[in-house]
Amino acid sequence: DCESASVHPRYTYPPRAALVAYWSPGSNSRSTMYTLLSGLYKYMFRRDEYCILILGLDNAGKTTFLEQTKMRFNKTYKGMSLSKITTTVGLNIGTIDIGKARLMFWDLGGQEELQSLWDKYYAESHGVIYIIDSTDEERLSESKRAFEKMITNDVLEGVPLLVLANKQDIENCLSIPDIKTAFSDCINKIGKRDCLTQSCSALTGKGVNEGIEWMVRSVVRNIHRPPRQKDIT
């Protein structure tokens, strides 16, 4: 679970007592020195952790997007074959590190019977990525209803929102202007939050880096949802 951090987590400093102990004549034992240096290392290289929800209808490409993200930002992650990914029933979790930020992704199932579980995760989220299948015009209105219900939930007020028109690598898909037109009456319900709509292909990776980097900038500057501090261990 993600816990709230202090209001100004980036402006805390090593405890004065620790610094005094470091310079005290009687504190030169190896164990004390190791403990102090270890604590200083953790302080200097800690990361702030942000929880990001990945939402959207089933078959929108949420899990493929998560896998593509992990492969692009985790150099040691080999990943699964993107062509073999199946519909998520429940929850997929992934983590990436970018600079001093650690993003923990929660990829939630998008079937109608699972959408009722989405709001159980809202209170602990710092950002939302909503993925739309731009090749499935028949379900666009269904996606819009799920989107509208999500953004009007008071718990998500002010949370940065990234809307991805996925599967843009497929011919005759809906364009960004098409999707913006279909969702136009949701604009006034988005409220005061950072929001971006962009094209994406989770399969080829187009737009993935740009979307993730935008989300990092947005959650870091959103002081209304302070991050959870996380040591690198």
Consult the annotation and say whether 169 binds a ligand.
Answer: yes
Nearest CA among 146, 213, 143, 211 for reference residue 179? 143
Consult the annotation and say whether 92 binds a ligand.
Answer: no
Consult the annotation and say whether 60 binds a ligand.
Answer: yes
Residues marked as catalytic:
111
Consult the annotation and say whether 1 binds a ligand.
Answer: no
Classified as helix, coil or strand, 32 is helix
| Positive/negative CA dihedral, 134, 208, 183, 119 | positive
Consult the annotation and say whether 110 binds a ligand.
Answer: yes
Output the furthest CA–CA distance in the chain (Å, rounded).
Answer: 75
Consult the annotation and say whether 78 binds a ligand.
Answer: no
Consult the annotation and say whether 172 binds a ligand.
Answer: no
Consult the annotation and say whether 59 binds a ligand.
Answer: yes
Consult the annotation and say whether 120 binds a ligand.
Answer: no
Q: Which two tokens stand for residue 47?
A: 């990361």
DSSP per-residue letters across 44-73? HH-EEEEEEEEE--TTSSHHHHHHHHHHHH
Consult the annotation and say whether 168 binds a ligand.
Answer: yes
Strand ranges (E), the chain? 47-55, 91-98, 101-108, 127-133, 161-166, 195-199, 228-230
Cα–Cα distance between 5 and 173 in angstroms, integer?
42
Q: Which residues are annotated as a binding site for GTP?
A: 56-63, 110, 166-169
Q: Which residues are annotated as a binding site for Mg(2+)?
A: 63, 88
Q: Which residues are annotated as a binding site?
A: 56-63, 88, 110, 166-169
